[in-house]
Amino acid sequence: MPRWPFTEEHEQLRRSIRAFVEGELAPQADQWEASGDFPDWVFKRMGELGYLGLTYPEELGGGGGDYLCNIVLAEEMCRCNSGGVAMAVAVQTDMAVPPLYKFGTPEQMKRYLTPAIEGNKIFCLGISEPDAGSDVASIKTVARKVDDGWVINGSKIFITNGRRADAMTLVAKTDHDAGHQGISLFVVDTDTPGFEVRRTLDKLGMRTSDTAEITFTDMLVPDDALLGKEGEGFYNISWELQGERLVGAAGAIAGARRSFEAALAYAGQRETFGRPIGKHQVIRHALADMATEIEAAQQLVYAAAWKVNRGEYPVREISMAKLLTGEVAWKVVDKALQIFGGYGYAMEFPIQRAWRDSRLIRIGGGTDEVMREVIGRMEGF
């Protein structure tokens, strides 16, 4: 029987995605990790299979599915054995592109959304800056209105897909004195004069995901680059962040479960003092804690996703899911590495990659500290 909140249709989709991920992506993960990059054909292939537009209407090229389809995709992408690939795809499906559908004009959807669903346009999301991360209101990138459009100056950092992207969903200030009401969204082609990828960052984990620093110097974009209404960008991007956080939580805890399963199998094979290490109470209890914490965190993710699927906007539950899964995923993978011992620390074993990749969820999309602030305020403090 399908596990709540999924249906048999979701499980059919899961089997299809799993066959693709394990058959076409996972065999190349080691090579991609060694090179620090993966090829753009991944997006094209996923577009051909319909995996980049699972929830969009069929008339736009999507699959017409519900929100839970994206949770299935996030869970199954962890089987590609490369957190960077999974994250790059998630930016396309759940972070940079959704605002196009929710706030875009028919012309913008035709020009950008449908090609993104097809995998013909790769997107990045331009929010974080050198002096502004989770505090979106503090961004300094400015869009100044001129007769023939907008002139944009500023910079962004930690931009996933930033080097390879064809287009960016960009957050910029359009009115310095209007506070939150002075922020707007734009959709920008990356070949626009003035758009420059300054560098690609060298990271601890998510090695295959290109993460860029980008500058805008007198970049002129047309009037129709404005995405949604002027001055509503803060609220629109706050909506987007909820989807980013929930799909990140789903992927993180699914990845943690895979690390737990690997540690469980290893504990049954590795022997010390004449018996498998899993028979020693200290290891058995560690595995019991890992299984319990994974189950609790995953159920919180599913409860939040179920509410989203019903049309609710459960910021409190999403924030809790993001916070809990980040901490649990990191703790579980760290314990898994400990169970593997010296082999876990060796680069030839994949658990070290999971250990490095799992740390980002506690920073990206809103830090643990920000999640606690959101939850505390919603509890009345």
Q: Which residues are catalytic?
A: 244
Give 12's contacts (C-beta < 8 A, 6+ positions apart): none
In angstroms, the Cα distances linking 62 to 50, 57, 117, 335 are 7, 5, 7, 40
Contact 273, 312 (CB under 8 A): no
Contact 123, 116 (CB under 8 A): yes
Specify the 3-state DSSP secondary structure of 232. coil
Among 187, 184, 214, 186, which residue's Cα sits nearest to residue 199?
Answer: 214
Q: How many angstroms separate the CA atoms of 112 and 103, rounded?
A: 12
> For residue 73, which phi and psi values (nearest 5 degrees)?
-60, -45
The whole-angstrom distance between residue 185's C-alpha and the CA centroid of its chain comes to: 19
- The DSSP annotation for 127-162 comes to --BTTBSS-GGG---EEEEETTEEEEEEEEEEEETT
Specify the 3-state DSSP secondary structure of 380. coil
